[in-house]
Amino acid sequence: MKIKKPLLIMAALYMIAGLNHFFSTETYLKIMPPYIPLHLFMVYASGVAEVGLGVLILIPRFRKLATYGIILLLLAVFPANIYMLTSQGKGTFIADWPYWLRLMLQGVLIYWAWIYTKIDHPSQLTLRYTFR
């Protein structure tokens, strides 16, 4: 079974991002909204979820489930991205534009995952799914 590059890139991005939760924990803790409980647990849990979903998306049998999981995860972390923008990230960046870029990227990532809910095999991924 040959896996197409876009799917490999997606899987790698989620696995790397998930592992980063364990290497840059303080950065993720800074962007946690105060109303969300158990900050450290949530940072680690979201990291585990990202790594797990990144692995599962590579397994055809679990791909559709993993892509729905990625969409739900991206929606779940959206409040942290809003908080990062509205609180200036508590010192994670200097300018505002990276926060706005991150919010826009969230929509692109959701769409990218959604594409894989509509196909059963990566070989079905064509430009028509990308540019409808």
pLDDT higher than 60, residue 91: no
Predicted local distance difference test score (pLDDT) of residue 2: 67
In terms of DSSP H, where are the helices of the chain?
Answer: 5-23, 25-30, 39-56, 63-86, 97-115, 127-130
Arithmetic mean of pLDDT over the chain:
83
For residues 120, 123, 124, 125, the Cα torsion angle rounded to the nearest 10 degrees is 110
Higher model confidence: residue 67 or residue 96? Answer: 67
Predicted local distance difference test score (pLDDT) of residue 99: 76
Range in 22-26, 52-56, 112-116 with the lowest mean pLDDT: 112-116
Read off the pLDDT of each residue in 6-25 and give the average, rounded to a whole number: 94
Residue 118, φ and ψ in degrees, nearest 5: -95, -5
Q: Is 56 helix (H, G, I), strand (E, B) or coil?
A: helix
Query: What pTM was computed for the model?
Result: 0.78
Picking from 85, 46, 89, the residue whose alpha carbon sits closest to that of residue 69 is 46
Read off the pLDDT of each residue in 105-126 and give the average, rounded to a whole number: 75
Predicted local distance difference test score (pLDDT) of residue 120: 58
Do the beta carbons of residue 103 and residue 94 sit within 8 Å? no
Predicted local distance difference test score (pLDDT) of residue 83: 83
Read off the pLDDT of each residue in 30-42 and give the average, rounded to a whole number: 90
Query: Residue 66 has which token pair?
Result: 């993993």
pLDDT higher than 70, residue 26: yes
Predicted local distance difference test score (pLDDT) of residue 132: 47
